[in-house]
Structures are given as structure tokens and as C-alpha cells.
Amino acid sequence: MSSVEALALRCILPGFIGTEAPDWVRRRAASGLGGLVLFARNVESPEQLTTLTASLHSERPGLLIAIDEEGGDVTRLEARTGSSYPGNLALGEAADPCLTADVASAIGLELNRVGIDLDLAPVADVNSNPLNPVIGVRSFGSDAEAVAGQTAAWVAGLQRTGVAACAKHFPGHGDTAVDSHLALPIAGEDPRLHAIEPFKAAIAAGVRAIMSAHIVAPAIDDLPATISSKVMMGLLRDELGFQGVAMSDALEMRGLSRGRGVAESAVLALIAGCDALCIGGRLAGEDVVEQVLAAIAGAVRTGRLAEERLAQAAGRVDSLAAWRAGQHEVGVSPDGVGLTAARKAVRFDGPVRVSDTAVVVRFPAALSIAAGDVPWGVAESLSARGVHVEAREAGSVDAAAVPPDTSLVLVVRDLHRQQENVAHIEELLTRRPDAVVVEMGLPAYRPRGAKAYIATYGSARVCAAAAAEVLRP
């Protein structure tokens, strides 16, 4: 391996399939791979994950093992059950920075124990567009100042446990209406007006990494932020003074790779100022690593990418690994802090209590690529509180057939984005005006006939538990 290839390898963080590391991953780790990104597909249990990370670190102690553990709707550790911690929107609604820091510390302590070095969180985006299909409840809210305070608290809470935080998605993915996994979003407002405030706060709090967004901010550049030197160097480095690791969002996302390919996107990201290159959500084999390595080496050879810029990027990744190696688990968090936060966030209005029996109808919600298929709903939590629950999916209930002494609970997520569900629910409410509507997403629309309404500000397992406590004290 040439010296240029060795530097390039240090900048790459791929993913892989399975709960054990393939031979190619171990070999690349031993030869200097910068890090790895783990997904829910790599996690079976805390014990398995601890064994996996230990085996990877045994190949090279400086290997950075990263994961997306945001809490709330985006969880990798608890993808099978739903998270023990509310996500950002619930924390923003609770509006208690100390509580937010405690939740982040609880997450960090769990990550530390299973051998994770870098958490690709918090989401620092200001959710200024309620129709945003990929941010929503992952944001602390729509007010930039409030989001900034929550972001700083989350970063501080996580990093006091010795796990590095990565604020995302710079310069702000909130004012968009397109999912960058699928296409290229355009920011409607100059990020310098509001969207970068949480990133300023994260930097002031000492955040170790910041992740780019595959979005275009026309007020700054017509290139996607990940490959824009005006964004990644001019704004992030020169204006905001960030000295840590600039990390790309996953390079195979269509918002960036369409028309360019992953390898070319990697080269352009490095030229623009990114240091660490995330790959492997969809592409998870050694071949993509080889393609990226070859492209980077070729770009250095032809002079497109300066070797000094590559060395700088690799050096920043190494510095993050060195920071992690010097950390010790020092954070603490109160027992049950996740449920405490979920309780503080839940809001309700009207006659929301249910009887001893209830039909709970869950309405379909769009599957978020970022979150994956994580369980959600209130039926199980309500049953745990002693209610005899009949759980149904939408389309299988006739309101007139539900006996008057049986409560009807309608569970939705991001109802404002689902006109078909709106029509169905409002029709049901005309026949059962006593039905309780539980919104587990962004509470941007309350059905006109909903006399009883609960908003949880997220669909984490603890948010469901908090709603169940309201329904059945």
C-alpha cells in the first residue's frame, strides 16, 4: 500500500453486513482503516455488540467505531424494541437542558459500555419546514435559539461520558422538503440566518465532529454542501472556526451520488474540506472501499486533490481517535431518565382516559430511511397498564361496531403529511367523537373532531409509555 493510499484509508468509514466482522473488515482495520459505521443490522444484543467492537478494536485500537444512536425514532441499539430515550423533539418540548444532558449521558454510558467511540448525533437541524420528510421529530424544534441550547446540552451530556458527538446535518437540513437519501434537497433560506445557530452552539460546547448535509444552500453555493468548499471550508472552518472532524453523510445517498457516483463524490468531498467519508448504509462490501481508495489515489496523482489536504484530513481523524483514547467514563444519569423526559414532554387535552377495554387502531406512517423499521404505537404500553386491548391496523375497524363502553384510540404519526389518514380519522370521529387521537410524530395537525388529543413528540418506546400513563393513570 502506498503512503497516499494509507492516508486515504484513514479517511474512510464503511459499513458491513452481519453481527460479526467479515474478514475484509478485520484486514482493512488492521491495515489502517479510519473507522466503521454500525447499523441495526450489526446489533443483536449488548453482549454481542461488545464482543464485536472488542474484536474490531483488537485489530487496531485507534479504529473509530461509529453508530447513529439519536434516541427516539432513530435507534440502532434498540431497533427491535424501540428506544428507552425520547428523541430530540420530545426533549425540545420538555425544554429542560439539564434533562437533555442527562438523557444524552445515559445514551453515552450505554455506548461506552458496548465499545462505541463516536455517536453520529445529535441532529442540530432547525425543523423550520413541517413538511420535511426526514428531519421532523429528529429535530429539537423550529426555533433556532431553543434548538441551539438543546444541541449544546446534548453534546455536553454525551461527551462527558467519553463518547464523541457528531452534530448533523451542516449547514442545516431542516428547511427542506426532500429526503436527501432519495434526491437533492434545496434549502429555502440562507442557513446563516438561523440554521447554523445550533452548530455554533455545538462548536462552543466542544463537539468533536460535524456531519455535512447533502443539500444545496443557494445563498452560499450551487453545489451540495458536502462537496462545497464555500460551505465546508468557508463557512464551517473560516467563519465558525471549527477545528474538529468534518464528516460526510453517507456518500451513496442519492442527493449526492446521483450523476457522480460514490468514488467521485468521495474525492470531491475531500477537496471541499470533509475529513471522514461515511459509506456503507446501502453499499457494504470491500469493493466500494477499493473504488474509493483508487479514486482518491488517482486524484492525488493527477493533482486534483493535494496530498497535504489528504494528510490534513487523515490527521484530524487520528486526532479524534486520540481524544477518544484519552477519555474515561465520567458521566452519570438518573435512573429512568428516558421515561422521566418522555413524561415531561407529553401533552394532552380533553377527556383522554380510557375504560377497561379499548380498541387501539394504528394508522400507517411513511417509513423513514434514517430510522428504519422500528416498532411504534401505544397498544402494548396500554395493555401493560391493565387495559384489555384489541390492537388493529387502519382499515380493519368499523367505529359503529365498537361497543360504546369500549374506548377507541386512534394512533398516528405525522398525520399532517397523510391526507388519506386525515379523511379516514375525521370520518371515524363523526361516529365516535369520544375517540382519543394519539399523535406520535410532529403534532402539526389536530383533526377537527378530536375532542381528546395526546401528543408525545416522538414514537420511542418511552413516549408510548408516557402516553399510556395519560390514557390509564
Q: What CATH number should be reported for the domain holding residue 410? A: 3.40.50
271/381 same-domain check: no
Burial class (CB in 10 A: 0-12, 13-18, 19+), 381: buried
The pLDDT value recorded for residue 258 is: 81
CA dist., res. 293 & res. 272, Å (int): 17
* Angle subtended by helix axes 337-345 and 461-471, to nearest 10: 60
Residue 40, sorted as left (phi over 0), alpha (psi -120 to 50) or beta, turns out to be alpha
Kindly state whether residue 297 falls inside one of the protein's structural domains.
yes
150/258 same-domain check: yes
Of 291, 325, 359, the residue that ends a domain is 325
- 68, 96, 249, 414: the catalytic one is 249
* Angle subtended by helix axes 46-59 and 97-113, to nearest 10: 70
The x, y and z cell numbers of residue 126, run together, are: 432547525
Per-residue pLDDT of the chain (473 residues; tens, 9 = 90+): 899 999 999 999 999 999 999 999 999 999 999 999 999 999 999 999 999 999 999 999 999 999 999 999 999 999 999 999 999 999 999 999 999 999 999 999 999 999 999 999 999 999 988 888 789 999 999 999 999 999 999 999 999 999 999 999 999 998 777 666 777 888 888 999 999 999 999 999 999 999 999 999 999 999 999 999 999 999 999 999 999 999 999 898 877 878 788 999 999 999 999 999 999 777 788 999 999 999 999 999 999 999 999 999 999 999 999 999 999 866 677 889 999 999 999 999 999 999 999 999 999 988 777 888 899 999 999 999 999 999 998 876 776 688 989 999 999 999 999 999 999 999 999 999 999 999 999 999 999 999 999 999 999 999 999 999 999 99
362/269 same-domain check: no
197/137 same-domain check: yes
319/350 same-domain check: no
320/350 same-domain check: no
70/152 same-domain check: yes
* 170 φ/ψ angles, rounded to the nearest 5 degrees: -70, 135
Q: Where do we find the cell 410532529?
A: 442
* 269 φ/ψ angles, rounded to the nearest 5 degrees: -65, -40
Would you say the C-alpha torsion 54, 55, 58, 59 has a positive or negative sign? negative
45/168 same-domain check: yes
284/369 same-domain check: no
The pLDDT value recorded for residue 180 is: 65
Active site residue 249: yes
The pLDDT value recorded for residue 131 is: 81
The x, y and z cell numbers of residue 362, run together, are: 394504528
189/158 same-domain check: yes
CA dist., res. 238 & res. 473, Å (int): 54
Kindly state whether residue 334 falls inside one of the protein's structural domains.
no
88/31 same-domain check: yes
Kindly state whether residue 338 falls inside one of the protein's structural domains.
no
Task: Give the chain's domain count.
Answer: 2
Kindly state whether residue 61 falls inside one of the protein's structural domains.
yes
The pLDDT value recorded for residue 187 is: 87
Kindly state whether residue 143 falls inside one of the protein's structural domains.
yes
CB count in 10 Å sphere of residue 404: 9
Kindly state whether residue 339 falls inside one of the protein's structural domains.
no
The pLDDT value recorded for residue 183 is: 73
- 169, 173, 181, 214: the catalytic one is 181
284/357 same-domain check: no
The x, y and z cell numbers of residue 62, run together, are: 485507534
Kindly state whether residue 229 falls inside one of the protein's structural domains.
yes
Kindly state whether residue 293 falls inside one of the protein's structural domains.
yes
CATH number assigned to the domain comprising residue 81: 3.20.20.300
- What's CA 169's distance to the chain center, in Å? 10
How far is CA 152 from each of CA 128, 148, 200, rounded to the nearest angstrom?
19, 6, 9
Of 258, 292, 325, the residue that ends a domain is 325
**Which domain range does residue 428 map to?**
346-471
The x, y and z cell numbers of residue 44, run together, are: 443483536
Active site residue 214: no
Q: Is the peptide bond before 171 cis (omega within 30 degrees of 0)?
A: yes
Of 292, 325, 358, the residue that ends a domain is 325
